[in-house]
Amino acid sequence: MKLELGKIKIDDIQFAEKTYVKDHVLYVNKEEVEELVLEDDKLIGCSLDIARPGDSTRITPVKDVIEPRVKVSGGEIFPGVVGKVTPSVGEGRTHALDGCCVVTVGRIVGFQEGVIDMSGPAADYCPFSKTVNLCVVIEPQEGLETHVYEKAGRMAGLKVAAYLGETGRNVEPDTLETFETKPIFEQAAMYPDLPKVGYIHMLQSQGLLHDTYYYGVDAKQFVPTFMYPTEIMDGAIVSGNCVAPCDKVTTYHHFHNPVIEDCYKHHGKDINFMGVILTNENVFLADKERHSDMVAKLAEWMGLDGVLITEEGYGNPDTDLMMNCRKVEKKGVKVVLITDEFPGKDGKSQSLADTCDEADALASCGQGNATLQFPVMDKVIGTMDYIESQIGGWAGCVNEDGSFEAELQIIIASTIANGFNHLAAKGY
């Protein structure tokens, strides 16, 4: 598959009478967006706000972050969710509004939505403190079941991102990049002297608001499969989960998976990037065993020399991570794990809930239990009502003036376990 990705640089968002892009500014008709969101009768309120880097603004509780995009050719954006399933994405041409995001915000679903600060100490830990964000604040019907509310919020964000992405369809991008992965035997023959490297991409799929969607299908319903990397870069996977904020792989991160992007940078130079083995994270032991067996079989069939493995979440998924590691290594394939750590506030507990002897090469994305002081902000988009019950917060952590102390894991993507962050840990 061959994908052309055009990036249209966006430096600011402003409200206007119509929605369009001009001179690196995204102009948005607020009323049209609000009407689009409220087409879903499960939502009774919608308001829009803009958050810019450096603003004294806090956004919480954050549900998802999405980059506006449009498929110029080769399928439709968010296939199986917003767009048509076929033809599949990952080829043709896509335009992205680079530098801006749609951020869905609203009354809490569980306790796993997070915080984005546009300035202050927490901004150093969050990638979305550096983007211009159109915040879509939603209000659900009273008594709505949490999973129904999650779907309504997910769909609201995706529809708004697709609507805004259309503004870039006929705009000449500032940059145009091409990514290509050929069918497996052709790809292997292209660089016979380079090590064949793959990526094992573990999706959160443990249910109870822990779901991810592959071409519109809940990830817990499929078995491990092969994907072209460009499919993932092009919207085939969307987030639908409420895992710990620091770990949450937002829809934006599926577009911008750093493992895939870095493997393409090295492709044809020092590695032959063969593609992605897509798998999920399971609840029951039999499923974990079955799916890790399938992952190892795919790695062997692809003739891989090495793989990188990432997970989403922590605790129970650590067992899936280690099973994949152990079984793939036993097939003669070298493994490097990428994950974050949770050793407790004092740093003295075991960092991962599971381990294995084969896990001898690991890149750490930092630890989520360290605490940080969050100062008062001039503006809150959403509500501070749930800080003490969100992951990373605790009863009594909020001061009378609105400042609070919390663990890093309350910040969206602060220790995200695929490397899209600024934290690391050094081993000795």
246 is catalytic: no
Mean pLDDT (whole number) for 70-77: 97
Mean pLDDT (whole number) for 372-401: 96
Q: Look at 138-147, 279-288, 415-424 and tell me which has the smallest mean pLDDT.
A: 415-424
Cα separation values, 317 from 237, 239, 271, 284, Å: 19, 17, 28, 11
Neighbours of 225 (CB within 10 A): 12
- Does residue 420 lie within any of the structural domains? no
With H, G, I as helix, E, B as strand and everything else as coil, classify residue 188. helix
360 CB-near residues (< 8 Å, 6+ apart):
none
Domain that holds residue 240: 2-410
Q: Which helix (H) or strand (E) holds 232?
A: helix 229-233
pLDDT score at 210: 87
Mean pLDDT (whole number) for 399-424: 92
- Does residue 422 lie within any of the structural domains? no
Q: What does the alpha-carbon distance between residue 228 and residue 210 come to, in Å, rounded to a whole number? A: 24
Mean pLDDT (whole number) for 220-248: 94
- Does residue 328 lie within any of the structural domains? yes
pLDDT over 90 at 318, yes or no: yes
- What's the structural domain count of the chain? 1
- Does residue 427 lie within any of the structural domains? no
Output phi, psi for 283, to 5 deg: -90, -45
Output phi, psi for 265, to 5 deg: -65, -30
pLDDT score at 111: 66
Q: Interior CA angle at 64 toward 63 and 65, to 5°?
A: 140
Closest CA to 57 of 125, 12, 119: 119
pLDDT score at 191: 97
pLDDT over 90 at 242, yes or no: no
pLDDT score at 427: 60
With H, G, I as helix, E, B as strand and everything else as coil, classify residue 405. strand
Mean pLDDT (whole number) for 137-158: 93
- Does residue 425 lie within any of the structural domains? no
Residue 421 DSSP class = S
Mean pLDDT (whole number) for 359-371: 93
Q: How confident is the model at residue 37 (pLDDT cuts 50, 70, 90)?
A: very high
Q: What is the pLDDT of residues 124-135, one digit of tens each?
A: 999 999 999 999
How high does pLDDT run on average in the chain? 95
With residues binned 3-state (H G I as helix, E B as strand, rest as coil), the percentages for the chain, rounded to 5, are 25, 35, 40
With H, G, I as helix, E, B as strand and everything else as coil, classify residue 40. coil
pLDDT over 60 at 114, yes or no: yes
Q: What is the pLDDT of residues 74-97, one digit of tens each?
A: 999 999 999 999 999 999 999 999
128 CB-near residues (< 8 Å, 6+ apart):
65, 101, 103, 116, 252, 412, 413
Q: What is the pLDDT of residues 246-267, one digit of tens each?
A: 999 999 999 999 999 999 999 9
Residue whose tokens read 């084969």: 358
Catalytic member of 46, 101, 126, 242: 242
CB 298 within 8 A of CB 226: yes
pLDDT score at 422: 79
pLDDT over 70 at 428, yes or no: no
Q: How confident is the model at residue 120 (pLDDT cuts 50, 70, 90)?
A: very high
Give the HSE-up count for residue 322: Cα atoms under 13 Å, Cβ half-sphere: 16
- Does residue 416 lie within any of the structural domains? no
- Does residue 382 lie within any of the structural domains? yes
- Token pair of 232, please? 């993932």
Percent of the chain with pLDDT over 90: 88
Percent of the chain with pLDDT over 70: 99
pLDDT over 80 at 312, yes or no: yes
- Does residue 365 lie within any of the structural domains? yes
Q: How confident is the model at residue 35 (pLDDT cuts 50, 70, 90)?
A: very high
Q: What does the alpha-carbon distance between residue 274 and residue 276 come to, in Å, rounded to a whole number? A: 7
